[in-house]
Amino acid sequence: MTVFLTLFLGELQRMKKYHILTASILVSFFWIGMLHLIEVPDITAFFMILVFFDIVSMAIVMIGVTIFFEKQEGVLKSLFVAPINRLEFISSKTIANLISNLITIAIVYLYALIVQDININVVGLLLAIILIGTFHSFVGFLIVYRSKGFTEMLIGMMKYFIVFMIPVALEEFGLITGDLFSNILFLLPTKASSTLITATTGGPITGEVILATVYLLIGTLVLAYFVNKGFRKFVIRESGV
Amino acid sequence: MFSIKNLQYRYPNNEEDTIKGIDFEIKTGEIFGLLGPSGVGKSTTQKILTRQLDNFRGEIRYQDKSITEYDKNFYQDIGVGFEMPVHFSKLTAEENLDFFKKLYSSRADTDQMLKRLGLYSDKDKKVGEFSKGMKVRLNFIRALLNNPRMLFLDEPTNGLDPKNARIIKNMIAEFKAEGGTVLLTTHLMNDVEELCDQVAFMADGKIVEINTPKNLKLEYGSRQLKVEYSDNAEVKEANFKLDDLGENQKFLQVIKNNRILTMHSQEMTLDNIFIKITGGS
């Protein structure tokens, strides 16, 4: 078994043992509850908003929580003196995180499919989840790198949600309108994420969708560079300096 | 096995070096003790040698090759035993060991080690339910699970009862007997005296003394014999120089005419040497 596979399967095992997967599934039931309570003729748009909320927030929170557990239990020290390189460490966590994202959304999607025959490009949605989830997992890594404790990490996450998620959500709910506001929102990765998710409900591939995809692809590469670069400093700090 | 020359290290944001130019060598098959009060740079030195810290100045060679030239496979060769718990608390002892074992190409018989350290019957228990002593013993198994050639141990018997401390010390001695090399950091001078071939005392980021425990005791002790004896129901004490003991008439009379209660050569204990060497730092 390769080191990557050991790390990846270890992540999944711990997600189960630490009830992270359970929490993730509970979140999906919460989303289902919301879908059930909303009284609109077509739940597709609302489903897309939930998907957006889930991927963006859970990808960041899950990375933060798993690394925090490992840090709290001293396991990071033990991992950092094992034959693991940074790529294996980062990628195993990111991919395990994506699996968790996919499970949550699959549950909500199945419910939506049962209640209403919603029309979604499933392959497109899968690719969007992978891209958005990877981008935001890397955001999670960077927040963890910059946080000295759990509270600081939560504050970092809250800052991201307030600055990047809420404006996009306000626009999605139609609470704030206007071209200027919409155009400014295109600076945010969360707007690109929302655009990409919405595009999976059908319709032509517009310039906006291409722009959002390119934005997230380049953004993911840029974040990957910083996640990789900051890893060593993080290791030194977590080794007890 | 390890050769350290003029090692210096400064933590980012610090104005002063924590390690201020140290030199020492750890020979293959020896147990090397790194001693000193807290905060003098022992852990930093160990972290540099285990490549948890980089950007050091000076030269460190492992098996005649600079440690900066090694990739992640450096860790296939070494085992690191931590003082604090380093296991997933919601996983069982066996699940923890299985996970870490799969990261290595060489895998030790952990069941045999669990049995020897009295943890086999608890292997299916979550580590979070373990006592402090059980976690220390599990840490020790974690350090050995890849059959390392070089072992870094930080206070391996701290918090253990005498029986389990004895088992761990025996296992360290056996590891050495099989050709293994150990860097031991501890405050327990009994362990040092029993296990170490060489010891280095650190103070203020420097090595202030390196020698064998026996030589240190002779160097820092006085060559005298202290005798406690009973003289007409009165307990008396006398000191005699070791050098001319056989011709010392007073000594010969004391042992001939009195009941000897105790007799001790006056080499210094390692505890006192520790305080004497590092006390000023």
Tens of pLDDT along B56-68? 999 999 998 999 9
Residues 6+ apart with CB under 8 A from B42: B34, B35, B36, B185, B202
For the stretch B128-178, pLDDT in tens is 999 999 999 999 999 999 999 999 999 999 889 999 999 999 999 999 999
**Chain B residue with Cα closest to A15:** B90
Give the integer Cα–Cα distance in Å for B36 and B186.
8
Contact: A232, B54; criterion CB under 8 Å: yes
Binned at pLDDT 50, 70 and 90, residue A241 comes out as low
Cβ contact B181:B27 at 8 Å: yes
Closest partner residue to B52 (CB to CB) among A6, A75, A239 is A239
Yes or no, beta carbons of B90 and A6 under 8 Å apart: no
Q: Which of B43, B47, B84 minimises the CB distance to A74?
A: B84
Answer whether B131 touches A (CB < 8 Å). no
Residues paired with A207 in a beta bridge: none
Record: contact B104-A82, CB cut-off 8 A? yes
- Write the residue in A7, A70, A82 that is nearest to B75 by C-beta: A82
At residue A240, the pLDDT reads 64
Contacts within 8 Å (CB) and 24+ apart, B156-164: B156/B81, B156/B184, B156/B186, B156/B191, B157/B186, B157/B188, B157/B191, B158/B83, B158/B186, B158/B187, B158/B188, B159/B132, B159/B133, B160/B133, B160/B136, B161/B133, B164/B117, B164/B118, B164/B133, B164/B137
Residue with tokens 């011709």: B247
Which domain range does residue B209 map to? 2-217
Q: A223 near A77, Cβ under 8 Å?
A: no
Any domain includes B62: yes
Tell whether the model's pLDDT for residue A91 goes beyond 50. Answer: yes
For residue B55, report the phi and psi dihedrals to the nearest 5 degrees: 55, 35
- What is the rounded average pLDDT for all residues in chain B? 91
Could you tell me if B24 and B39 lie in one domain? yes
Q: Is B138's Cβ below 8 Å from some Cβ in A? A: no
Find, among B162, B115, B116, B117, the residue nearest to B135 by Cα.
B117
Got the DSSP string for A56-114? Answer: HHHHHHHHHHHHHHHHHTTHHHHHTTSS--HHHHHHHHHHHHHHHHHHHHHHHHHHHHH
Domain boundary (B183, B201, B217) is at: B217
pLDDT (mean) for A14-28: 90
Q: How many CB pairs under 8 A join A and B?
A: 77
Answer whether residue A148 shows pLDDT above 90: no
Q: What is the CATH number of the domain that holds B144?
A: 3.40.50.300
Whole-angstrom distance between the N-terminal and C-terminal Cα of chain A? 33
Interface residue B75 vs chain A (CB under 8 A): yes
Tell me, what's the ipTM?
A: 0.86
Q: What is the pLDDT, as a whole number, of residue A69?
A: 86
Q: Does residue B212 sit in the same domain as residue B253?
A: no
Whether the CB of B82 is below 8 Å from some CB of chain A: the reply is yes
Q: Which residues pair with B7 in a beta bridge?
A: B22
| Residue B27 three-state SS | coil
Domain total for chain B?
2
**Contact present, A232 and B54 (Cβ < 8 Å):** yes
Q: Does the beta-carbon distance from B91 to A14 stay under 8 Å?
A: yes
Q: Are B6 and B58 in contact (CB under 8 A)?
A: yes
- The answer to whether residue B104 neighbours chain A at the CB level (below 8 Å) is yes
pLDDT at B114: 96
Is B242 near chain A, with CB under 8 Å?
Answer: no
Confidence grade of residue B267 (pLDDT, cut at 50, 70, 90): confident
Q: Which residues contact A149 (CB under 8 A, 6 or more apart)?
A: none
Q: B42 contacts in A (CB within 8 Å)?
A: none
Contacts of A3 in chain B (CB under 8 A): 103
Structure tokens at A59: 């990808």
Q: Does B142 touch chain A (CB under 8 A)?
A: yes
| Residue A44 reports pLDDT greater than 80 | yes
Q: Name the residue of chain A whose CA is nearest to B18's CA.
A: A241
Q: Does B90 touch chain A (CB under 8 A)?
A: yes
The Cα B190–Cα A205 span in angstroms is 75
Does the CB of B99 have a partner CB in chain A at under 8 Å?
A: yes
Q: A221: Cβ–Cβ under 8 A, 6 or more apart, which residues?
A: none
CA distance B143 to chain A (A): 9
Residue B279 lies in a domain: no
State whether B171 and B202 are in the same domain: yes
Question: CA A239 to CA B52: how far, in whole Å?
Answer: 7
Tell whether B257 and B136 lie within a shared domain.
no
pLDDT at B281 over 80: no
Which residue, B181, B192, B180, B265, is CA-closest to B223? B265
CA distance B177 to B179: 5
Spatial contact of B218 and B207, defined as CB atoms under 8 Å apart = no
- The contacts of residue A3 (CB under 8 Å, 6+ apart) are A83, A84, A88, B103
Whether residue B255 sits in one domain with residue B197: no
Assess if residue B238 is contained within a domain. yes
Tokens 């004391």 identify what position? B254
Chain A hits for B78, CB-CB cut-off 8 Å, are: 81
Residues B127-133: contacts with CB within 8 Å, 24+ apart? B127/B85, B127/B87, B127/B88, B127/B89, B127/B90, B127/B91, B127/B92, B127/B93, B127/B96, B128/B89, B128/B90, B130/B93, B132/B159, B133/B159, B133/B160, B133/B161, B133/B164
CB B47 to CB A235 under 8 A?
Answer: no
Q: Which of A6, A7, A77 sits opposite B86 (nearest CB)?
A: A77
Domain boundary among B187, B217, B247: B217
Measured distance CA(A167)–CA(A185) in Å, rounded: 8
- State yes or no: pLDDT of A160 exceeds 80: yes
For the record, the structure tokens of A85 come out as 């390189």
Q: Is residue B277 part of a domain?
A: no
Cβ-based burial of A75 (10 A; exposed 0-12, middle 13-18, buried ≥19): buried
B69 & B97 share domain: yes
Q: Are residues B98 and B235 in the same domain?
A: no
pLDDT of residue A1: 67
| Structural domain contains residue B184 | yes
* CA–CA dist B9, B67 (Å, integer): 15
Strands B259-265 and B224-231: antiparallel
Q: State whether B232 and B193 are in the same domain.
A: no
Give the pLDDT mean for A8-17: 94
Contacts of residue A240 in chain B, CB cutoff 8 Å? 43, 47
Rounded Cα distance, A155 and B136, in Å: 35
Give yes or no: residues B259 and B165 share one domain.
no
Would you call B201 exposed, middle or buried from its count of C-beta atoms within 10 A (0-12, 13-18, 19+)? Answer: buried
**What share of chain A in percent tops pLDDT 70?**
98
Inter-chain CB proximity A239 and B76 less than 8 Å: no
Look over chain A and give the mean of its residue pLDDT values, rounded to a whole number.
Answer: 89
Question: B232 and B183: one domain?
Answer: no
* Contact between B103 and A83 using a beta-carbon 8 Å cutoff: yes
Distance from CA of B74 to the nearest CA of A (A): 7
Using an 8 Å CB-CB cutoff, list residues of chain A that contact chain B.
Answer: 1, 3, 6-7, 10, 13-14, 17-18, 70, 73-75, 77-78, 80-85, 232-233, 235-236, 239-241
pLDDT at A202 over 80: no
Q: Does residue B199 register a pLDDT over 50?
A: yes
Query: What's the pLDDT score for residue B58?
Result: 94
| Same-domain status, B227 and B176 | no
Inside any domain, residue B275: no
The chain A residue lying nearest B53, using CA atoms, is A236
Interval A114-126 mean pLDDT: 87
Q: Which residue(s) pair with B66 in the sheet?
A: B61
Residues B126 and B185 in one domain: yes
